[in-house]
Structure 1
Amino acid sequence: MKGLINVIRSSGLSTISNSLNKDEEITSEKKEEVDNVLPLFEGAAETGKIKRKSLKNWLGNLYLERKSLAHSLNDTKTAKEDLIVSVIVLIVDIIVCLLLMGFLTTQILVILSSQLLLAVFLFGNTAKTVFEAIIFVYLMHPFDVGDHVVVDGVQMTVEEMNILTTIFLRYDNEKILYPNSVLSTKPISNFDRSPEMSDSIEFAVDVSTSIESIKALKARIKTYLESKPQHWRPGHDLVVKEIENVNKMKMALIFTHTINFQNYGVRNSRRSELILELKKLFEELGIKYDQLQPQEVHLRYVGSAPPALQP
């Protein structure tokens, strides 16, 4: 980060320039540092230039990550403060009770025991819930504020974490509150903590499509994916899943993003571009699927001969 700031400050980049040139402006940094920085910007590793748009996108993503981290640290601090205050209040209550009733006499012990049994009877479930929530927040800690998660099959963003509850923001901005004791019993998918994620696109073609056309499609897809290394990882697979109703062949393109799905908007945008590219390739190669296939129909008259027409 420090090296990047120094590059920008000392580059002399004007408001008219659209990129930083590795050979012209980036001259005060070591080659190893430049090689480590350039892959962070879209298209910079191939051209040796950092475009203004790529720099703006990178700074925007950096701001969002910093904001999420700040929210996470703030909520964690608040949860710890709440826990400390609760423990202190409980200790003060016990001390006050002991002072009011005397100091650990047999009679007091009997009273305390009876009160303790009563408290367990009244607040046993509450204490269990609080204990499970504390274990979930501080030991399990499956997510932070800003993480994109899936709970009960619903994709949501973590907005606020407390000791007893967590507030999520659904894709339509509806706020959903979950007790942490309930969350501790559910499987939770966390996109932010996942590595680069795989994806797939399924489609169908005519079973009459030639092997040569399918090979050409594979080659064109490979060329397209390799032309965008900032979007897709090397290695993909085009597989035939099954043949259905004799005339339909189901296929799937399996590929790997250079990101996880924490930034779901970027994932959807890249996936849409790939789908449009597939459509273009289908049109250029003449690959299609006709759901209604032409069928031969044989007509035969059964019954007596129709009456002759009168002139």
Structure 2
Amino acid sequence: MCHKSHNETNIGNMLGYIEEEDLLRFLKTVEVYTIFPLFEGAVETGKIIKSSFRNWVVHAYVERKALAHSLNDTKTAVQQLHKLASAIVTVIIIVISLLVTGLATTKVLVVFTSQLLLVGFMFQNTCKTIFESIIFVFVMHPFDVGDRCVIDGVQMIVEEMNILTTVFLRYDAEKIYYPNSVLLTKPISNFRRSPDMGDAIDITIDVSTSVDDFNALKKAIQLYIESKPKHWNPKHTLLVKEIENLNKMKLTLCVQHTMNHQNYGEKSARRSELVFELKKIFDNLGIKYHLLPQQVHLMHVDVIGNGGMSM
């Protein structure tokens, strides 16, 4: 990052970007170098442009909003658990108080206990469900509000957490209610808690593609990925899976994002940009895919008389 004059800084402000000198008025140099990597393209250009700053603000707002919802739902769950525990403790205190004061004899206590056991037997499934839900919410706690998860092959975002149920928002904005006792038995994939995630793109090219063109393809893909350090990890692999029907070669490009798939829209946009770049590389290198020659059967039809025909 370079230093510019005060007039150039003012011009930069009018053009809609923030430079290092603007931040040095309020922050230390070490803090400035810590902040710049948070904004896309700021390290390379030495400027924080308006769109990058706007994206950072939106991202920060979404993160804080999800955190606020998570804390609120956790507080609600704790309050519900507190009420349940208070009811149990109240019953125990009443029983002990009656025994201490002599108002309840052992016979009365036996009758009362037997009634409690009867009630517990009648509602054993409910008690089991409540206990399992408490274990799921407070011990396992596999997700928070706002996390993007996959359950039963369906991708959903956690909308609300309670003691007994969790509310999810599906990709089409449909709300789905899951009992926590059921979620306890299911495998749950959590995107937010995952590290930088990978992606795979399947490609089919003509088997006649030369080795030189294939190496040029690998080099062009490498140059593009290295030119996008904010989007892609430089480590990638182009694998040849198989040759099919002696005319097409199936490839798989394995890449790694510099993010997990929590922000699925951003992930899809990056992947779309990569696929479009692959298309341009194929055009530049003349790499194409041709179908094998197909057999075509022609039939000659002669019309005879009034509606009759022969072939």
Normalised by the shorter chain, which TM-score bucket?
0.7 to 0.9
| Separation in 1, partners of 2:194, 2:11 | 36
Partner of 2:266: 266
**What is the SS of the residue equivalent to 2:142?**
coil
Partner of 1:293: 292
Judge which range, 76-85 or 94-103, deviates more.
94-103
| Separation in 1, partners of 2:244, 2:105 | 84
One-letter code aligned to 2:16: N
Does the 8 A contact of 2:24 with 2:32 survive in 1?
Answer: no
1:274-293 to structure 2, matched below 5 A, reads 274-290=274-290, 292-293=291-292
One-letter code aligned to 2:254: I
| Separation in 2, partners of 1:88, 1:123 | 19
| Separation in 2, partners of 1:272, 1:127 | 50
| Separation in 1, partners of 2:146, 2:69 | 8
Question: How far did residue 125 of structure 1 move?
Answer: 1.2
Residues 1:12 and 1:145: Cα distance change in structure 2 (over 3 Å): farther
Partner of 2:196: 196
| Separation in 1, partners of 2:127, 2:10 | 62
Residues 1:273 and 1:118: Cα distance change in structure 2 (over 3 Å): same
| Separation in 1, partners of 2:239, 2:176 | 39
Provide structure 2 residue ranges, at least 5 long, that are not aligned to the other structure.
1-8, 297-311
Please list the CA deviations of residues 3-51 of structure 1 after superposition, one character each: whole Å capped at 9, or x if unmatched.
xxxxxxxx879863321122x3233433332222111111111111111
Question: How far did residue 95 of structure 1 move?
Answer: 5.3
Residues 1:296 and 1:181: Cα distance change in structure 2 (over 3 Å): closer
Does the 8 A contact of 1:203 with 1:250 survive in 2?
Answer: yes
The size of the alignment, in residue pairs, is: 285
Judge which range, 265-274 or 104-113, deviates more.
104-113
Partner of 1:114: 114
| Separation in 1, partners of 2:10, 2:108 | 80
TM-score, normalisation: structure 1: 0.86
1:1-311 to structure 2, matched below 5 A, reads 16-22=14-20, 24-28=21-25, 29-93=27-91, 103-290=103-290, 292-294=291-293
| Separation in 2, partners of 1:286, 1:78 | 61
Question: How far did residue 287 of structure 1 move?
Answer: 1.1
Judge which range, 271-280 or 110-119, deviates more.
110-119
**What is the SS of the residue equivalent to 1:16?**
helix
| Separation in 1, partners of 2:117, 2:214 | 75
Question: How far did residue 94 of structure 1 move?
Answer: 5.5
| Separation in 2, partners of 1:61, 1:51 | 16
Question: How far did residue 235 of structure 1 move?
Answer: 1.2
Residues 1:104 and 1:210: Cα distance change in structure 2 (over 3 Å): farther
Does the 8 A contact of 1:157 with 1:169 survive in 2?
Answer: yes
**What is the SS of the residue equivalent to 2:202?**
strand
| Separation in 2, partners of 1:235, 1:34 | 29
Partner of 2:4: none
Residues 1:201 and 1:170: Cα distance change in structure 2 (over 3 Å): same
Does the 8 A contact of 1:159 with 1:169 survive in 2?
Answer: yes
| Separation in 2, partners of 1:216, 1:265 | 31
Please list every run of at least 4 consecutive aligned residues from structure 1 whose deviation after the TM superposition is greater than 6 angstroms. Answer: 11-15, 97-102
Does the 8 A contact of 1:202 with 1:253 survive in 2?
Answer: yes
Does the 8 A contact of 2:207 with 2:249 survive in 1?
Answer: yes
Residues 1:135 and 1:13: Cα distance change in structure 2 (over 3 Å): farther
Please list the CA deviations of residues 86-145 of structure 1 after superposition, one character each: whole Å capped at 9, or x if unmatched.
222344355567889974522123212311320221111111111111011011111000
One-letter code aligned to 1:293: L
Residues 1:215 and 1:82: Cα distance change in structure 2 (over 3 Å): same
Judge which range, 57-66 or 223-232, deviates more.
223-232
TM-score, normalisation: structure 2: 0.86
**What is the SS of the residue equivalent to 2:241?**
strand
**What is the SS of the residue equivalent to 1:150?**
strand
Please list the CA deviations of residues 174-216 of structure 1 after superposition, one character each: whole Å capped at 9, or x if unmatched.
0001111111111111111111111111111111111111111
| Separation in 1, partners of 2:18, 2:204 | 44
Residues 1:98 and 1:239: Cα distance change in structure 2 (over 3 Å): same
